[in-house]
């Protein structure tokens, strides 16, 4: 009978630590919490891991740490034929930030007939994920209350209530629009308008409030128009009423880039030249805005910074048991393009 060959020993964490000249804990940090290491140390350890072909035992890591290294992202409902490019960019940023921290992202959605809360409970009971990352957070969002009551880790793109964990990140939409109104005023405009959707979304309300604050600050004549929903026909109808009424504004700030598309359509139909007869600015910096003629001035959401901050805050809770005491507000990034017109345009 042939003798059994001894089982070949795989590369161990001790092997990697010895070759890299660091401790086992440093190897663990490189794999599980790379943000804790200096860039040069992380680069050296990563190179040794790749060179030796070290692959940690994921099941053993989960047993030791009590984590699955998986973050659940309840994906917003979207139209495959007309997807939201903003949320696609956000998902890409979340996956990248999670990967850098050694985590994977699991996209989830309630099954037919299942409530959002039931879908969350199912994942919690199965111990499938370490925490949730929420987006499209609304006022009195039931997901926030449910996860708070369950005591399960989460981070939110959008503000939580005062009695809920402050593990949120948001963009200062109001200040971004205040600043945009200032740019409009600096170009000599005195009659300005804000075009909103009437959906009651908290970020749209923040942008409207920022517009009204900017109007007061600069002593402008301002008016707010709302399109009843996101239907293109309704947006065009609201914009036409705005541009054909008495005291037509010479500048419009739209609460979203898709609303500004209606402004472009109506302005051309009325013989108004954008950037000369009418200044236009908006919010979100969708890819189409750079291709408009003239290109649209807008506010860009810092999606990479938002995603990294969300993952960092979530892992504070998951790995360290520390819940942030306050939310994090990040500034929007103005993108100035020809639709605003040159300084002192009027």
Inter-helix orientation angle 39-52/13-20, to 10°: 130
Q: Which class for 335: exposed (0-12), middle (13-18), buried (19 or more C-beta within 10 A)?
A: middle
Tell me how crowded residue 324 is: count the other CB atoms within 10 A of its CB. Answer: 18
pLDDT tier, 13 (very low <50, low <70, confident <90, very high otherwise): confident
Give pLDDT tens digits for 310-321: 999 999 999 989
User: Which residue has tokens 């963009």?
Assistant: 171
For the stretch 172-200, pLDDT in tens is 999 999 999 999 999 999 999 999 987 77
Task: Confirm whether 70-171+303-333 and 173-300+335-340 share one CATH topology.
Answer: yes
Whole-number pLDDT of residue 57: 55
Is the predicted pLDDT of residue 5 greater than 50, yes or no? no
Contact 280, 263 (CB under 8 A): yes
Domain covering 173-300+335-340: architecture: 3-Layer(aba) Sandwich (3.40)
Domains of the chain, by residue range, sit at: 13-55, 70-171+303-333, 173-300+335-340
CATH fold of the domain at 13-55: 434 Repressor (Amino-terminal Domain) (1.10.260)
Taking the C-alpha atoms of 271, 275, 278 and 279 in order, what is their torsion angle to the nearest 10 degrees?
Answer: 150
- pLDDT in the model for residue 346: 52
Instruction: Give the residue ranges of DSSP H helices in 33-172.
Output: 39-52, 58-65, 85-100, 116-126, 142-150
Round to whole Å and give the CA distance between 180 and 256: 13
Strands of the chain, DSSP E:
70-74, 104-108, 131-134, 154-157, 168-171, 191-197, 221-227, 251-254, 279-281, 298-300, 328-330, 333-335
End-to-end CA distance of the chain: 97
Question: pTM score, two decimals?
Answer: 0.80
Q: Which of 27-36, 158-167, 193-202, 227-236 has the lowest mean pLDDT?
A: 27-36
pLDDT tens, position by position, 49-77: 888 877 765 544 444 445 689 999 999 98
Which percentage of the chain shows pLDDT scores above 70?
Answer: 92
- 263 pLDDT tier (thresholds 50, 70, 90): very high
- pLDDT tens per residue, range 79-114: 888 888 888 999 999 999 999 999 999 999 999 999
**pLDDT for 122-131, tens place per residue?**
999 988 899 9
Q: How far apart are CA 106 and CA 204, in angstroms?
A: 29
Weakest mean pLDDT among 246-250, 278-282, 297-301: 246-250
Banded model confidence at residue 35, pLDDT cuts 50, 70, 90: confident
The CATH architecture assigned to 70-171+303-333 reads 3-Layer(aba) Sandwich (3.40)
């Amino acid at each position: 009978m042939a003798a059994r060959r001894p089982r070949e020993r795989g590369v161990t964490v001790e092997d990697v630590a010895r070759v890299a000249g660091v401790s086992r804990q440093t190897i663990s940090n490189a794999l599980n919490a790379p943000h804790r290491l200096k860039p040069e140390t992380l680069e050296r350890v990563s190179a040794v891991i790749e060179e030796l072909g070290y692959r940690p035992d994921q099941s053993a890591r989960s047993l030791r740490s009590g984590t699955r290294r998986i973050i659940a992202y309840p994906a917003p409902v979207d139209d495959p034929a007309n997807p939201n490019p903003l949320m696609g960019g956000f998902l890409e940023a979340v996956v990248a930030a999670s990967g850098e921290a050694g985590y994977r992202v699991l996209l989830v959605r309630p099954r037919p007939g299942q409530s959002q809360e039931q879908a969350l409970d199912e994942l919690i009971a199965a111990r499938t994920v370490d925490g949730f990352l929420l987006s499209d957070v609304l006022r009195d969002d039931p997901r926030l209350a449910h996860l708070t009551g369950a005591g399960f880790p989460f981070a939110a793109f959008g503000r939580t209530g005062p009695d809920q964990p402050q593990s949120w990140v948001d963009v200062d939409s109001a200040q971004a629009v205040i600043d945009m109104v200032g740019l409009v005023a600096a170009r000599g405009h005195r009659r300005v308008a804000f075009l909103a959707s009437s959906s009651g979304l908290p970020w749209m309300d923040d942008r409207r409030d920022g517009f009204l604050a900017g109007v007061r600050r600069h002593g402008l004549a301002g008016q707010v128009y709302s399109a009843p929903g996101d239907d293109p026909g309704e947006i065009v109808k609201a914009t036409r009423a705005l541009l054909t009424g008495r005291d037509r504004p010479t500048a419009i700030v739209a609460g979203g880039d898709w609303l500004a598309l209606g402004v472009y359509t109506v302005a051309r139909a009325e013989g108004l030249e954008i950037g000369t007869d009418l200044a236009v600015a908006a919010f979100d910096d969708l890819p189409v805005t750079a291709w408009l003629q003239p290109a649209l001035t807008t506010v860009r959401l810092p999606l990479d910074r938002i995603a990294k901050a969300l993952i960092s805050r979530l892992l504070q809770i998951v790995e360290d048991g520390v819940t942030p005491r306050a939310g994090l507000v990040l500034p929007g990034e103005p993108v100035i393009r020809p639709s605003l017109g040159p300084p002192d345009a009027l």
